[in-house]
Amino acid sequence: MKKLLVLMCVLMVSLFVFSEEVITLNLIEAFSSPYRTPTLNNIVQMFETLNPGVKINVISPPYETAYQKINLMVSTEQPLDIIEIGDWDLSALAAMGKLEDLTPYIEAWPEKDDMVEGVLEAASIYHGIPYLLPHGIFVKALFYRPDILAKYGIETYPKTMPELYEISKKLTESGKNQYGFAFRGKGYPTAFIDIVFTSFFDDIDPNNMYLTKSGEIIFEDPRAVEALNFYVSLYKDTAPKDSINWGWDEQVNSFVSGITPLLFQDPDTTGMLNEMLQPGQYKTAPIPLGTSGNVYPSFGFVGWGIPTYSEHKDLAWKFIKFVASAEINGYWSKSYGALPVLQSVYTYDSYFSSEIFEGWTKMFDDPEHYQFTQYPLDNENWGKWNEFQEKTMQQVLLGQLSVESCLKQWTDFWKDAGIL
Amino acid sequence: MKRRKFIFFLLLPTLLLISFIILYPTVSGVMLSFKNYSLYNFQNIEWVGFENFKAIFSDPFYINTIWNTLEWVLFSVFFQLILGFILALLMKEPFKGRGIYAGLVFYPWAISGFAIGLIWSWLLNGQFGVINDILIKIGIIEENISFLSDPSLAMFSVILVNVWYGIPFFAIMILAALQSVPDSLYDAAEIDGAGYFTKLFNITIPYIKPTLINTILLRTIWIMNFPDIIYGMTRGGPAGSTEILAVKIINTVFYESDYSKAAAHGVVIISILFIYTIMYLKLTSKREFSL
């Protein structure tokens, strides 16, 4: 009995002496999906293997409620070390004063000079401070189905908005359930309508999509009437009537089934399309140029941040840095679909110079016509705007509201919101 | 008096528990509606009086939202009641395979409302929907119908799905009540020469009236607070044509991230339901069934 007791004591002491303390980092993601979360888990596993003694606990709330959960967790200082932050949520989170300024970390990070131009600046929208390190970029491109276009004798993709209308109209045969354009009517259609709308302008403010360079609200400009009328025609003449009720799921489904072979979407759509379509069955092209000769896409981004109250900030940065490294960023972007944040990744993997990425490559190579701009994301009426714009835009499409009245309401909205 | 006090003390723990789990959140929700608690304002939360109510009532879409809510509740409850009643009457009679049939009929009630919304949004889809496909194949229509994108059809569609979803609940409740009606009443009525409808209106309905009153009251409250189906099918669109108050709360939280304004919408719902409940109970408590 005595021997057993001594043996147990020795075992306990040796366990205590030789066991390493395990540090657990809590990570919360904002864009969980069946396509993306497994990739994140793989990266976490790689990091844990390379860093024994570190465990990362991944929290994946449902996509629809993720922003609410993150904001509530951060505001009540619940244990978090790494937070995924989207561009639309950055200002709200930063305004709480609970996000760590990543400047010192980024300054000391050798790969910062390899970042795609403008990404870090775009991510510093709140008081010019980088509260996150982006891990993916979102810019809309034109997705098209060469196989369907060829059936109608169309050999190339539309290069201008009038061409987009013409080709879409040529494709539209409602009796055969064949249409041209995959319209977006619900679930944050903002980015879609604004790309079409602003393409009628040649003087959009690069810091605010809803202002001209001379500081006027675009909705009270005479060109706005033309732009909105074009948008209505695009819906009425070339898109399924039902698409007023379409979000991402329906748009992609319609594109895959060939009903609408033209689609504006973000690069994360490629993840799903690569699984559902054969290679070459879809391609991407630059967003068609507007009547002004320009297009003003928005530059969306998502990244990782650290709460000020985290007890493991350095370790959290180590993980963020790891995810941002060329190899991991390439794997992440290829698997999930967002555009890589490091320039070297585009040459590192031939996938990023394939036809799938042609749309973005061409847009990035032509800054004269593709002028990136930003939404007024730091305006606290931004969320309200999305709902209001969606509803009034649908009223215009349904003929319940005139183009002029709608533009007046949009102008008043932003005047009241203090955009000027 | 002593006995009353004794009963009160026995019920006190329950009262405290109910106060904690029901009263506290209700009061807290009402208080929230008078503050400025939003995503952009976690640091300076303060009392703002009726500002949130002023904001929601000045929304030009709000009257439309209230009308939609009333339309949604009224038509849903009415058709669920009528069809649930008919189903219960049919299910009361013994027939071969009644158990299997009952299982199938009550099946919708077992599925989540949000999942039902999503399933039906695909079934009724104007491009790839099965319903359109079937209607075209059997020759009823020639072109696809945009069930969810035509404002005149969208509310009809969501109510139709809600009726389909809610019939089983009425049927279960009414069937249980029907089985408690003594057969002797029907036997006596038959001896007096009463027909089917005479028995239905003079015996069955008066006898099960308490169940009907409670079920209608419950369902009205639930349906008014039930955004799942509409959210899954249309999110309140197009152009707000299917937006009810409960969906408005979700949209206010998800789009505007304004928790206080969402709470103000909740207070409006509570107020409407409070007035309705008092009026309904006053109107329905006058005549009782007597033998």
Q: Do B238 and A186 touch (CB under 8 A)?
A: yes
The answer, for A95 touching chain B at a CB cutoff of 8 Å, is: yes
Bigger pLDDT: A203 vs A68: A203
The answer, for B239 touching chain A at a CB cutoff of 8 Å, is: yes
- Mean pLDDT score, A72-84: 91
Helix (H) or strand (E) holding A205: strand A204-205
pLDDT tens profile A88-111: 888 888 888 889 999 999 999 999
Q: Do B39 and A383 touch (CB under 8 A)?
A: yes
Domain residue ranges in chain B: 59-286
Question: What is the pLDDT at residue B53?
Answer: 95
Q: Do B61 and A383 touch (CB under 8 A)?
A: no
pLDDT cut 70: percent of chain A above it? 95
Question: What is the pLDDT at residue B1?
Answer: 64
pLDDT higher than 80, residue B239? yes
Paired residues of A56 in beta bridges = A25
CA gap A83, A74 in Å, rounded: 9
The answer, for A236 touching chain B at a CB cutoff of 8 Å, is: no
The answer, for B201 touching chain A at a CB cutoff of 8 Å, is: no
CA distance from start to end of chain A = 84
Cβ distance A43 to A332 under 8 Å?
yes
* Contacts with A187 from chain B: Cβ below 8 Å: 235
Paired residues of A311 in beta bridges = none
- Mean pLDDT score, B71-87: 96
Give me the architecture of the B59-286 domain, per CATH. Orthogonal Bundle (1.10)
Question: What is the pLDDT at residue B291?
Answer: 47
pLDDT higher than 90, residue A230? yes
* Contacts with B158 from chain A: Cβ below 8 Å: none
pLDDT higher than 90, residue A214? yes
pLDDT tens profile B40-49: 777 778 899 9
CA gap B290, B214 in Å, rounded: 18
Token pair for residue A315? 């370790």
* Contacts with A175 from chain B: Cβ below 8 Å: 143
Token pair for residue A405? 């009245």
**For chain A, what is the mean pLDDT?**
90
Cβ distance B202 to B181 under 8 Å?
no
pTM (2 d.p.): 0.84
- Mean pLDDT score, A241-254: 90
Chain B residue with Cα closest to A386: B255
pLDDT grade for A380, boundaries at 50, 70 and 90: confident
pLDDT tens profile A160-183: 999 999 999 999 998 888 999 999
Question: What is the pLDDT at residue A78?
Answer: 92
pLDDT cut 90: percent of chain B above it? 59
Which site among A391, A396, A400, A412 would you substitute to test the B interface, given the most B Cβ atoms closer than 10 Å to its Cβ?
Answer: A391
Bigger pLDDT: A120 vs A79: A79
Cβ distance B39 to A381 under 8 Å?
no
**Residue in B149, B240, B254 nearest the CB of A241:** B149
Distance from CA of A108 to the nearest CA of B (A): 32
- Mean pLDDT score, A332-353: 86
Question: What is the pLDDT at residue A20?
Answer: 61
pLDDT tens profile B1-47: 678 888 888 999 988 998 888 888 889 999 999 998 887 777 778 89
User: Which 3 state secondary structure label does DSSP give B129?
Assistant: coil
- Mean pLDDT score, A20-45: 90
CB atoms within 10 A of CB B27: 11
User: What percent of chain A is helix, strand and coil (3-state, nearest 5)?
Assistant: 50, 15, 35
Q: Do A395 and B254 touch (CB under 8 A)?
A: no
Kindly write down the DSSP assignment for every residue of A219-267, as one continuous string: GGSHHHHHHHHHHHHHHHHHS-GGGGG--HHHHHHHHHHTSS-EEEE-T
Helix (H) or strand (E) holding A58: strand A54-59
Q: ipTM of this predicted complex?
A: 0.81
CA gap B190, B182 in Å, rounded: 13
Which site among A245, A397, A412 would you substitute to test the B interface, given the most B Cβ atoms closer than 10 Å to its Cβ?
Answer: A245
Chain A residue with Cα closest to B154: A245
The answer, for A325 touching chain B at a CB cutoff of 8 Å, is: no
Token pair for residue A155? 């050999």
The answer, for B210 touching chain A at a CB cutoff of 8 Å, is: no
Q: A23-138+300-357 and A141-296+379-417: same fold?
A: yes
Cβ distance A391 to A384 under 8 Å?
no
CA gap A364, A360 in Å, rounded: 6
Cβ distance A307 to A80 under 8 Å?
yes
pLDDT higher than 90, residue B128? no
The answer, for A68 touching chain B at a CB cutoff of 8 Å, is: yes
Q: Do B125 and A187 touch (CB under 8 A)?
A: no
CA gap B237, A188 in Å, rounded: 13
pLDDT tens profile A399-418: 999 999 999 999 999 999 99
Q: Do A175 and B148 touch (CB under 8 A)?
A: no
Q: Do A244 and B125 touch (CB under 8 A)?
A: no
**For chain B, what is the mean pLDDT?**
90
Q: For residue A265, how far is the Cα from the chain centroid? A: 10
The answer, for A242 touching chain B at a CB cutoff of 8 Å, is: yes
Residue A25 backbone zone (phi > 0: left; psi -120 to 50: alpha; other: beta):
beta
pLDDT tens profile A115-170: 988 888 888 888 889 999 999 989 999 999 999 999 999 999 999 999 999 999 99
Nearest 5°: CA angle at A304, between A298 and A310?
145
CATH code of A23-138+300-357, in short, is 3.40.190.10
pLDDT higher than 70, residue A79? yes
Kindly write down the DSSP assignment for every residue of A338-393, as one continuous string: PBPSBHHHHHHSGGGGSGGGHHHHHHHT-TTTB--B---TTSTTHHHHHHHHHHHH
CB atoms within 10 A of CB A403: 16
Please count the CA atoms within 13 angstroms of the CA of A213 that sit on its side-chain side: 7
**Homologous superfamily of domain range A141-296+379-417:** Periplasmic binding protein-like II (3.40.190.10)
pLDDT higher than 50, residue B124? yes
The answer, for A241 touching chain B at a CB cutoff of 8 Å, is: yes
CA gap A245, B122 in Å, rounded: 11
Bigger pLDDT: A255 vs B105: A255
Among A3-17, A329-343, A368-382, B140-154, which stretch is predicted with the lowest mean pLDDT? A3-17
Bigger pLDDT: A348 vs B92: B92
* Contacts with B253 from chain A: Cβ below 8 Å: 68
pLDDT grade for A10, boundaries at 50, 70 and 90: low
Question: What is the pLDDT at residue A21?
Answer: 78
Kindly write down the DSSP assignment for every residue of B140-180, as one continuous string: S-SS---TTTSHHHHHHHHHHHHHHHHHHHHHHHHHHHHTT
Question: What is the pLDDT at residue A13?
Answer: 55
